Amino acid sequence: MRYVLVLLLIVIFGYALALVLQNSTEVSVDLLFSQVPAMRLGLLLLLTLALGIIVGLLLAVQIFRVFQTNWEIKRLRKDIDHLRKEQIHTAQLAAAEAVANANTKHEKTVLDVVEEPRNSNHL
């Protein structure tokens, strides 16, 4: 992979050099804030290409960050939903266990209570 990148850089450098050498016509350039009276057309093309690549890379990085943030938000929402379901399930199990323990204690207390016969003479 490294050799492919080096080869690609050499090809791009050769193309840029050929572009400058083939387009040697001088033109005047207005750069909004200043004016260059004479600049080679090939050099102007290279500067424009470099500026376009830099702006494109910066925009691509910014757009990738937006997508990456959205993916992270979706993943975290799924995790939250999973944890909520797990928490509800745990709470239901705890409630069922508490009810079972309460019923067991209630049965024991009911069995332990001995009813005394009531006499109507005790008024």
Domain borders along the chain are 2-109
pLDDT at position 33: 84
Task: Read off the pTM.
Answer: 0.50
Residue 35, amino acid: Q
pLDDT per residue over 48-67, tens digit each? 888 998 999 899 888 888 88
C-beta of residue 44 within 8 angstroms of C-beta of residue 30: no
> Which contiguous run of DSSP H or E holds residue 91?
helix 41-112
First to last CA, the chain: 105
pLDDT per residue over 76-118, tens digit each? 999 999 999 999 999 999 988 888 887 765 554 544 555 566 6
SS3 15: helix
